[in-house]
Chains A and B, each alone.
Chain A
Amino acid sequence: MIITIIIKSILAVIFLGGILNLAGLLTWVERKQSAVMQDRIGANRAWIEFKSKWLAPVNWILRPLNVLGLFHSLADAVKMFLKEDFVPEGADKFLHTLAPMISVVFALLAFASIPFGDTLHIGNRVINLQIADINTGLLFVFAMMSLGVYGVILAGFSSNNKFAHLGGMRAASQMLSYEITMGLSIMGIVLCYGTLNLQEMVRHQSHLWGFVVQPVAFILFMTAALAETKRVPFDLPEGESEIIGYFVEYSGMKFGMFFLTDLVETVLVACLMTTFFFGGWQVPFLSPDGFHFPWGIFALSHGVVITLGVISFMLKVAFFNWLFMAIRWTLPRFRYDQLMHLGWKILFPASLVNVLVTSVIVVMRS
């Protein structure tokens, strides 16, 4: 029992550490990717260099990192911690402090049921590479994502600022609208695989990945999930420069937490897309005993297969993060009525039709 807990804790530390680091790295990716996309160079002035002669080898190692501007994430973090933590007059201090925490905690909790690798066998011990092996993992993820909305709404309501209040309202209606589409579009996948367990879902995709089975659900889910992350083109709750969002009254690390939530949610959505539609840790042609190419079998040991699976999961997540960043830097923001129109009049009926068609096909086949 104790050993199981220790193993799970190690898994949690590794996975969440990876997620948080990836989220921190995404600030850099966002800066650099947008820069390269727009024919710019991007932030590269956070420069760490030692003056003393005997530290020259360290400088030599630091130089490429300096040139790439990787220390800007570090500089950001330092700035956030050193800034004044401001609570506006008349604000509900308790809720004002609680809101960013709710936001970030639920975003991170949702990762608990995402499988990032196949079942690992060490001796007699069976380790499922998933923090919490929940039978209804899908429901858990959706519950956590829905609870995350509270952070945003509370931030808007407790700030004693009308702009923040309006931003919170926009966030609430947008996220609730798109959650419906998200839930319904994923029903197609659930109908096809007949399970709510995410690990089982990934196992079902060993031959055919989800986006081939459910292409419509793939597009619908991606759109709705992008809306859930509250990033451009769906960044009406925030709209930093123009329409002012729910976190105007936040500063320092509390603002940092909202910022982190955004990036963590991007990673979360990338993980979900991978799990539902791109076969999670599945590698093409890879079976538990090695590669089964049409022209022959290439045997691999158990450890290598599992490692390949984890690497494949990470690569897919990285790809989706890249794609979301590309979308974020390509499309302009929706107008609010366009957003609601898209959510309720296009995506919602389309997801209903998708569920209907899928159910008919599933019933006909069984």
Chain B
Amino acid sequence: MINTKVIKRQELNFWDKTYLPSVALGLWITSKHFFKNLFIHTLHSVGLFKNLSGAVTFQYPEEQRPLSKRSRTRHRLTQREDGTPRCVACMMCETVCPARCINIVAMEHPDPNIEKVPASFDLDLGMCVYCGFCVEVCPEDAIRMDTQILDIAAYSRAEMQLDMKELLNPRSSLLYKK
């Protein structure tokens, strides 16, 4: 025998049935927001209290949402002091990549102390799943996902394929790549 607890449904009293108090309460809440935000916007228009925000939204292309430092965004290849890629073409990232979006062609590095250097480093953003494995697996700290660039809009799939030049100097929008 299970003891069920019967909760009695609360009866509406006379004022609840007229809807008026709840309508007034709702109007009070929305008006409070309205006048508060209107006041803040008015202050902004004369250049005061810019640190207070009258809205929770961001005016996107002009103004970016602050991202966490750990958030995984567009990839970049880090550079040595002379501007060459830090990558030694060990193929670790290409191997670990679950989406198989990285394609590296290795070649000899002129400096005998450095093993190899990528002749080409292609990364297909259209296939990338932003798992961050490539960053974690890299022994040379050569690839990072910290550019804070989120938009990968492009007119075609081909434009989403980044080459080494693009990865070394990441730009915000792919739409103006070529």
Contact = CB atoms under 8 A, between A and B. Distances in A.
Interface of A: 33, 35-41, 219, 326-327, 329-331, 342, 346
Contacts of A38: 33
Contacts of B23: 327, 330-331
A33 B19 CA distance: 24
The DSSP consensus for interface residues of chain A is helix
B33 A41 contact: no
Nearest to A350: B18
B34 A37 contact: yes
Contact of B41 (A36, A329, A330): A36
Interface in B12-55: 17-20, 23, 26-27, 29-31, 33-34, 37-38, 41, 54-55
A99 B54 CA distance: 42
A312 B38 CA distance: 23
B3 interface: no
3 tightest A-B CB contacts, nearest first: A330-B26, A37-B34, A330-B30
Given A330-B26, A331-B26, A40 B34 contact: no
Nearest to B20: A219
Interface residues of B, number: 20
Contacts of A33: 34
A36 B37 contact: yes
A329 B30 contact: yes
A149 to B, nearest CB: 25
Given A41-B57, A331-B26, A326 B37 contact: no
A330 B22 CA distance: 11
Nearest to A44: B59
B54 A36 contact: yes
B62 to A, nearest CB: 11
Given A41-B59, A219-B20, A36 B27 contact: no
Of B27, B31, B34, chain A has the most CB atoms within 10 Å of the CB of B34
Contacts of A329: 30
B60 to A, nearest CB: 11
Contact of A327 (B27, B34, B59): B27
A219 B26 CA distance: 16
A219 B30 CA distance: 20
Contacts of B31: 37, 326
Nearest to A338: B19
Contact of B37 (A39, A219, A330, A342): A39
B56 interface: yes
B56 A39 contact: yes
A220 to B, nearest CB: 11
Contacts of A39: 33, 37, 54-57
Contacts of A219: 20
Given A326-B27, A331-B26, A36 B18 contact: no
B17 to A, nearest CB: 8
26 contacts: A35-B55, A36-B41, A36-B54, A37-B31, A37-B33, A37-B37, A38-B33, A39-B33, A39-B37, A39-B54, A39-B55, A39-B56, A39-B57, A40-B55, A40-B56, A41-B54, A41-B55, A326-B27, A326-B30, A327-B27, A329-B30, A330-B23, A330-B29, A331-B23, A342-B19, A346-B17
